[in-house]
Amino acid sequence: MPADSAPEINQAPAVALLIKDLALVWAFYIACALILSYPLIKTFSTTLAGSLIDPLQHLWIMRWYRSCLLEWRSPVICPELQYPVGAPLGNFSPLHLQAILFIPLSLVLRNDVLCFNLVWLFAMTTTGLGTFLLAWQAVRDKPCAAFAGMLAMLSTPMMLHCRSHLELITLGGFPLFLVGWMRFVDRPTRGRLVVSAGLYVLVALCAAYYVVFAMVPAALYVVWKLMNEGRNGPRWLVSRMFWLTGFGVLALPALALVFGNHIWASANGYASQRSLTEFNAYSAAPWTFIIPTPMHRIDQFMPANVYAAAGYSLGMGERSSYLGVITILLIHQAAVRKEKFARRGYLWLALVAMVVLAWGGVLKLGDRKIVLPAGWLRDHFFAFRMLRVPARFNLFVGVVAAVIAAAGLKGILARISQRPVRVVLYGSVVALSMVDLLIFPFSTGKIPEMPACYRTILDRDPQASFVEVPQYPSSGSFLYSLTSYWQSIHRGRTNAGYSGNGNTPMDNLVSWNSPFSYFFLEDPNYLADPEWTSIDVVGGVSFHDYTWLYLHQNKYRYVVLHQWKGYADGYPEKLSRVKALMSHAKIFEDARTIVYDRAKLTPPTRPVVVSAEGWRESYLARRIRAVGKTSSLAVYNPNASRPVSLALNASAFRSSRTARLLLEGRELASWTIVPDREFRTYRTPPLMLPAGVSLLTLDCDGEETPWNSHEFALETDSAPYSLKVAGLTISSESVPSDPPTRQIAAQPKPNRLR
């Protein structure tokens, strides 16, 4: 067997190492983390490490776990957030290990910021510790292994993610699992089986992404061992199959339990598919590993901003992978000098493989697209379809690269006979690496105090429900991340909720058709004529009438308009129009918020319609809605004695459909809707509807599943549907109701990455 395979190493020194040196190494990493995050150390108990948007989401998640534990509630779905649908925990980052640390800390310290920062510090430093132990297995040199842990902790992906993603910087479980896995595959025993399976579950508790990512180096190790066995390879593999099966038997049920919330959310239609466009966009090309970002000090010596020239500026936080000059030189040293260390061939193989996977799904050469290994894995393995950002493999690259760099440093030091010179050189390498990799200034965020309006309203109306304005979808916004955290304090019901993976039923029901949507507020023509405007696919409607029915149908009692600096600056003109139109319903105002009460709004004086269940977001050169076999419409009729007419501007999907409009099972109208690119208008005969709010059912005689992405309702929505609707109007019979062309004109597609 080749010398570098090192299938088994005497573990006695490792035990001595853990007892004697672990505390000292950890203290060194704590010092490094506090240096890299300066000035966080000055405000450690008052400002969050990093930005606010994702850390506030993480705080809500951990506080929700705590509330469920203390109140004996199920954590599966929070009915008060993303109201009226509810926020399924499966759409959020799991943060299992982080919550396990946060909950006892918060019960003792009663300071969310301090508890978050302590968990953050633990995540950063245990990444270093885990890499230290992996490097120790490889190089058997304590100073060099400690250096490897520092490099992994300060790698550019870690330095960037530590400003936003608490779960992604909890990386220490990966190198620990790799140590346990290699020992298990080398010489399986029952004890090692249990340890390796337990460490894999630990990886799952750290971050959901790492469950998928860790499969790659684990599988590569089996392949590498098989190749090293030569002719005995088949016999060796057969001897390991029983043990590998046992690993799966132990790990899979535990993973199902860990991700039970995510399985429930997917099974119940709350989670959308991951976008192939985003998967291909979030790549980290090989050059990103060797070129510093504009945020590094060394970038001032670069002749140009390569990231901007390559179009990487927008996604720099995910795609930047710079390893550092010292790390690159040491890896080069290890390669050129063929430095020997345990499992050398495997670690080189793992490094190359994960760099290639971080490169993303496709390589574009002019008009040609070449599918890369990450794209192939996504096409053929279900687990990879759950990933949005393959570039995050660069976090694993940082760990393995640090181990190889440690081997290069050990080789250099071994060639120097004078101990003082070795000490000076080692200290210089550590210092230069820190200077090279650190990104200053480190961002911190102070959580704004919760506005007084929530307590004021809830004190007099404990069942209050709020819609936060400007209104955003559930997939992400700074305002909704902040209002989510406030909800964990006031515990009222709100449409807010930043879940990362969008809550599809919630957005289809109340986000895309809202009169307060950021999408409409960005339109310069919106509310130019508030008595004859278009909202979603509904045309020729009064803003007052539509808003009343929208709030009534979705059970929102209060509208909270945020007007404080920094959170609604993008829509001053449109928000001023909203303020003027709703001034008669105002019940609270201060410098930060205005609150309007639905009870003070005047009921509609004309018939009005709002889409309800079953209307899904879609695009086809203009804003449309995909409708399944059964959907519903909320209609308000102010006068039961006057007939109304409802019109659809629609096209059937692929095959002609018979669509029936029903009220409590009674047929009101029936159409045969045909496929037509131009869409056709289908109008009901005069209808006598009861006064007030009625819920109409639109029932189609079938639906069809899209064959390819071009037929999907959206790129992330491959579910079957029956119709596409571009216009929807309702009017008194004496008033013409054809949807005017200007009301359903093409509109820009909203930024789904917002």
**Distance between CA atoms of residues 160 and 170, nearest Å:** 13
> CA angle, 163 as apex, 160 and 164 as ends, to 5°?
105
User: Do 575 and 618 belong together in one domain?
Assistant: no
332 shares its domain with 382: yes
Burial 520-551 (b: 16+ CB within 10 A, else e): bbbeeebbeebeebbbbbbbbbbbbbbbbbbb
What is the helix (H) or strand (E) element at residue 482, kind and residue range? helix 478-490
My answer on whether 121 and 168 are in the same domain is yes
Q: How many CA atoms lie within 13 A of 199 on its CB side?
A: 24
Integer CA distances (angstroms), 564 to 569, 577, 580, in order: 8, 16, 17
Query: 30 vs 38, 209, 429, 496, 707, CA distance in Å?
Result: 12, 25, 19, 36, 53
Task: Tell me, yes or no, whether 635 and 563 share the same domain.
Answer: no
| Tens digit of each residue's pLDDT (9 = 90 or more) over 219-243 | 999 999 999 988 898 999 999 999 9
Clarify whether residues 593 and 620 are in a common domain. Answer: no
State the DSSP string of 122-137: HHHHHHHHHHHHHHHH
Cα dihedral across residues 526, 678, 716, 374: positive or negative: negative
Please report whether residue 55 resides in a domain.
Answer: no
Please check whether residues 287 and 201 belong to one and the same domain.
Answer: yes
Give the pLDDT confidence score for residue 740 in this predicted structure.
42
Q: Is residue 315 part of a domain?
A: yes
- Give the count of domains, the chain: 3
User: In the chain, what are the helix, strand and coil shares in percent, each to the nearest 5?
Assistant: 50, 15, 35
Residue 382 inside a domain? The answer is yes
Residues with Cβ < 8 Å from 34, sequence gap 6 or more? Answer: 40, 41, 121
Residue 544, domain extent? 452-600
Q: Of 576, 600, 624, which closes a domain?
A: 600
Q: Do 31 and 175 lie in a common domain?
A: yes
In a domain, 445, yes or no: no
The upper half-sphere exposure of residue 258, i.e. CA atoms within 13 Å in the direction of its Cβ, equals: 23
Vertex 78: Cα angle to 72 and 80 (nearest 5): 110
In a domain, 446, yes or no: no
491-515 confidence digits (pLDDT tens): 999 999 998 788 999 999 999 999 9
The CATH number of the domain holding residue 653 is: 2.60.120.260
**617 and 508 assigned to the same domain:** no
CA dihedral 609, 613, 614, 615 (to 10 degrees): 40
Please answer whether residues 395 and 158 qualify as being in contact, where contact means their C-beta atoms are separated by less than 8 angstroms. yes
| Statement to judge: residues 422 and 509 lie in one domain | no
Residue 562 domain-assigned? yes
Tens digit of pLDDT for each residue in 89-119? 999 999 999 999 999 999 999 999 999 999 9
Whether the CB-CB separation of 658 and 667 falls below 8 Å is answered with no
Instruction: Examine the fold and report which residue of 581, 600, 619 is the final residue of a domain before the chain moves on.
Output: 600
Q: Identify whether 659 is part of a domain.
A: yes
Question: Given the structure tokens 């309800």, which residue do they identify?
Answer: 612
DSSP string, 663-703: ETTEEEEEEEE---TT-EEEEPPPB---SEEEEEEEEES--
Cβ-based neighbours of 176, under 8 Å, separated by 6 or more: 130, 133, 134, 199, 202
pLDDT at site 734: 59
Which DSSP symbol is given to 503? B
pLDDT, residue 742, reads 33
The neighbouring-strand residues paired with 692 are: 637
Q: From 546, 580, 600, give the residue that closes a domain.
A: 600
Residue 334 neighbours by CB under 8 Å, 6+ apart: 341, 404, 405, 407, 408, 411
Q: CB pairs under 8 A, 24+ apart, for 614-617?
A: 614/698, 615/508, 615/509, 615/513, 615/725, 616/504, 616/508, 616/713, 616/714, 616/717, 616/719, 616/721, 617/507, 617/508, 617/512, 617/713, 617/714, 617/717
Residue 7, pLDDT score:
44
Instruction: Mark whether 106 and 193 lie in a shared domain.
Output: yes
> Do 645 and 580 fall within a single domain?
no
One domain, residues 391 and 501:
no
The confidence score (pLDDT) of residue 16 equals 58
pTM for the predicted model, two decimal places: 0.91
Low pLDDT (below 70) residues in the chain: 1-18, 566-573, 620-622, 734-754
Among all chains, which residue has been given the structure tokens 């990512």?
213
Structural domain contains residue 485? yes
Q: What is the pLDDT of residues 657-670, one digit of tens each?
A: 999 999 999 999 99
